[in-house]
Amino acid sequence: MKNILYLSFIFIACFSCKAQNQIPSENNTIINNNPKLVVGIVVDQMRYDYLTRFYSKYGEGGFKRMMREGFNCKNNHFNYIPTKTGPGHASVFTGTTPKYHGVIANDWYDKETKNMVYCAGDYSVLAVGTDSDLERMSPHRMKTTTFADENRLFTQSKGKSIGISIKDRGAILPAGHSANAAYWFRGKDEGNFISSTYYMKDLPKWVKSFNASKIAESYLKDWNTLYDISTYTESGSDLNTFEGGFKGKETATFPYDLKKLSQQNAGFDILKVSPYGNSIVADFAIEAIKNEQLGKDNITDVLTVSFSSTDYIGHNFGVNSKEIEDTYIRLDKDLEHILKVLDSEVGKGNYTVFLTSDHGAINVPSYLKSVKIPAGYLNNVSLKTKLSVFMKNAFETEGLIENISNNQIFLNREKIKALDLDLDDVQEAIVNEIITYKNVYKAYSASTMSTVHFADGVENLLQKGFNQKRSGDVLIIEDPAYISYGKTGSTHGSGLNYDTHVPLLFFGKGIKHGQTLRKTEITDIAPTMSALLGISFPNGAIGQPLEFVLD
């Protein structure tokens, strides 16, 4: 009996020790429950109503598929000012606003160096894939992490992160600081996708092969409407006075001979201002999925894709143009192509996609005026001249203003201190002066932004875009539908609905089928994706996971 008990004890002890020393296999970890690939898509300058306005022209496999099989957040908004490309891409993927991630504009005045700086510019690195000195880029000016960064940390850098776009900032900021790669398009006389030494010393073989294939050259062809132009009833007339067009063509009307026009429009850069710029991004993204083996194992990879040609075309031709309608019809085809490749390469039910935008856009003010809607253009020269006279009279000196840009006034703080002036008093004096100027809707001092909490309204949006270290001393909000821009084409940047209301579609693994009119904010996207993956939220995230989206 004693022997039996002894043997039983030995057996249990050995089994227990074996269990304690077992190392769970990778297939048994929680990673196995996650999507193999997350694809974050940003469509540059996409208003929400492009989903509904062009709905009847879309096929079944692109936007409609995502809406039908996924989840549509119909009341999704940016929650800060300014609504620009750099801040937009950073906010989507960090889950926070310029107040925290620090990307306060595309370019801004640096108070330390006294120079304008670019959101992705970095002279400590070199370009890879081009000899141009203008392509030295990295995410170093973005202060917080993206959910792609958090995925890299969670997976011990085994999960890949790759960013792709026509624009450098559209590729770099979403992919995060720890990305394996970011690729953007170098136009001019090159027509290649490039990167920087922040990521690599040399382009991968598949990227070189893609560039050598002359795909970019194949897109230098006629751009005509995909369908009969008479069926494009969702947009204005093709010939009007509200569009820019191309050098070398008398009117901004279809068709456009891109190959011929490229000679006067910066070579391959003309592709950026055509729907084929989106197509080449889709082509390149598909090659990345295949050659980088994205989604091929149980460790989640992240691919970010930004379609930027929509923005270039919107700026050139405007919100109500035939060109915009045709661009979105063609983008729908590109989106369908990507989803089909994901089905075949990663597998249905193995990947998750979200689609949103970095900002919306205003209808061309000259068009709005023609239909009696209040709108117009600003005279910045007049404002600067008038303000300069005021400053000289009020403070009996010159040079107190260092810079005026991005609707912000930057003061020479050293001179103010040397003159024994109170900084808050100078700021408030300017606020009280410029609020009397024509087309200045609101104005606030940096002191107010730093000390007063605004719970709602446009003031709240301005505050969430205010970065204490980088933003100016006085912030200006212009009249609704008044812009600092040319008389043709659309732009963006305000806190009004035409700039803040953008699509938000979730699709794929872990996503419910449905829709909501509940208000969601752009900063909710990254926490939602982090919650889906079971990883840490980006370190500066202020948004909340959209629980009703997750299955």
Q: How much is the pLDDT for 356? A: 98
Asked if residues 545 and 524 have their Cβ atoms less than 8 Å apart, the reply is yes
Give residue 21's pLDDT band: very low, low, confident or very high (50, 70, 90): very low
Q: Do 334 and 407 have their domain in common? A: no
Residue 225 pLDDT greater than 60, yes or no:
yes
Does the residue 27 lie in any domain? no
| Assigned token pair, 375 | 């709108």
Residue 454 lies in a domain: yes
Q: How many residues does the chain have?
A: 551
516-537 exposure pattern, b = at least 16 Cβ within 10 A, e = fewer: beeebbbbbbbbbbbbbbebeb
Do 71 and 194 fall within a single domain? yes
SS3 267: strand
CB neighbours of residue 121 within 10 Å: 18
With beta carbons less than 8 A apart as the criterion, state whether 362 and 47 touch: no
Looking at the structure, tell me whether residues 264 and 311 fall in a common domain.
yes
Q: What is the pLDDT of residues 408-427, one digit of tens each?
A: 999 999 999 999 999 999 99
Domain boundary among 422, 451, 478: 478
Q: Report how far apart, in Å, the C-alpha atoms of 315 and of each of 42, 261, 485 are.
A: 17, 18, 10
SS3 306: strand
Is the predicted pLDDT of residue 14 greater than 60, yes or no? no
Q: Is residue 19 part of a domain?
A: no
- pLDDT tens across 35-53, in order? 999 999 999 999 999 999 9
Give the residue among 406, 454, 405, 451 at the shortest CA–CA distance from 428.
451
Q: Is residue 256 part of a domain?
A: yes
Maximal CA-CA distance, the chain: 107
* pLDDT, mean of residues 171-177: 98
Amino acid at 113: T
Q: Which of 81, 308, 353 is nearest to 172 (CA)?
A: 308
Q: Of 427, 451, 478, which residue is a domain's last?
A: 478
Average pLDDT value for residue range 495-505: 98
Instruction: Check whether residue 341 and residue 465 sit in a common domain.
Output: no
Q: Are strands 474-478 and 401-405 parallel, antiparallel or unpaired?
A: unpaired
Number of Cβ atoms within 10 Å of the Cβ of 14:
10
How many domains are there within the chain?
2
CATH code, 90: 3.40.720.10
pLDDT for 22? 45
Average pLDDT in the 489-518 region? 98
Alpha carbon 487 to chain centroid, angstroms: 25
Q: Which residue in this structure is represented by tokens 């068009």? A: 367
Instruction: Give the start-end residues of each E strand in 210-285.
Output: 222-223, 256-257
Give 418's Cβ-side CA count (13 Å radius). 8
The answer on 263 and 171 residing in a single domain is yes
* Residue pointed to by tokens 């299955």: 551
Q: Specify if 110 maps to a domain.
A: no
For residue 147, pLDDT beyond 80: yes
- Cβ–Cβ contacts within 10 Å for residue 288, how many? 24
The residues with which 77 forms a beta bridge, in sequence order, are: 501, 521
Residue 385 is part of a domain; what is its CATH number? 3.30.1360.150
Is residue 493 within 8 A of residue 60, CB to CB? The reply is no
Please check the confidence at residue 208 and state whether its pLDDT lies above 80.
yes
Helices 380-395 and 423-434: crossing angle in degrees, nearest 10, is 130
Q: How far apart are CA 174 and CA 303, in angstroms?
A: 9
Work out the pLDDT band at 464, boundaries 50, 70, 90: very high
Q: How high is the pLDDT of residue 155?
A: 98
345-381 pLDDT, tens digit per residue, is 999 999 999 999 999 999 999 999 999 999 999 998 9
Active-site residues, by number, are 85
Closest CA to 519 of 93, 74, 52, 80: 74
Token representation of residue 161: 């992160």
pLDDT band at residue 12 using 50, 70 and 90 as cut-offs:
very low
Closest CA to 151 of 504, 538, 525: 538
The pLDDT of residue 27 is above 90:
no
How many other CB atoms are there within 10 angstroms of residue 415's CB atom?
Answer: 16
252 token code pair: 């901004």
Structure token pair of residue 158:
């085994």
Distance separating alpha carbons of residues 144 and 88, to the nearest angstrom: 14
First to last CA, the chain: 56
Residues 318 and 244 in one domain: yes
Distance of alpha carbon 404 from alpha carbon 386, whole angstroms? 13
* pLDDT score, position 16: 43
Indicate whether 52 and 86 sit together in one domain.
Answer: yes
Task: Return the percentage of the chain with pLDDT > 70, whole number.
Answer: 94
- Same domain, yes or no, for 157 and 297? yes
Average pLDDT value for residue range 250-262: 98
- One domain, residues 399 and 293: no
Question: Is 483 contained in some domain?
Answer: no
Query: What is the pLDDT, as a whole number, of residue 32?
Result: 56
DSSP, residue by residue, 162-219: EEEESSHHHHHHHH-TT-SEEEEEETBTT-EEEEETTT-SS--HHHHHHHHTTHHHHT
pLDDT over 80 (residue 95): yes
Whether pLDDT at 550 is above 90: yes
* pLDDT of res. 33: 87
Q: Which SS3 state, helix, strand or coil, does residue 74 take?
A: strand
Domain assignment present for residue 18? The answer is: no
CB-facing half-sphere around the CA of 259: CA atoms within 13 A: 7
**Complete DSSP assignment for 360-389:** --PPPHHHHHHTT---EE--HHHHHHHHHH
Instruction: Flag whether pLDDT at 387 surpasses 70.
Output: yes
Together in a domain, 410 and 469: yes
Instruction: Determine how many CB atoms are found less than 10 A away from the CB of residue 548.
Output: 12
d(C-alpha 460, C-alpha 458), whole Å: 5
Mean pLDDT of the chain: 94
Find, among 449, 186, 152, 424, the residue nearest to 302 by Cα.
152
Q: Which residues pair with 376 in a beta bridge?
A: 482
Same domain, 323 and 423: no
Instruction: Single out the residue of 295, 298, 280, 300 nearest to residue 341, CA to CA.
Output: 295
**Taking 90 as the threshold, does the pLDDT of residue 271 lie above it?**
yes
Residue 222 domain flag: yes
Q: Are residues 536 and 417 in the same domain?
A: no
pLDDT at 547 (0 to 100): 98
| pLDDT at position 463 over 90 | yes
Compute CA distances 366 → 207, 362, 363, 481, whole Å. Answer: 43, 11, 9, 10
DSSP notation for 118-152: ETTB-TTS-EES---TT--B-STT--S--HHHHHH
Domain that holds residue 233: 32-96+126-364+494-549
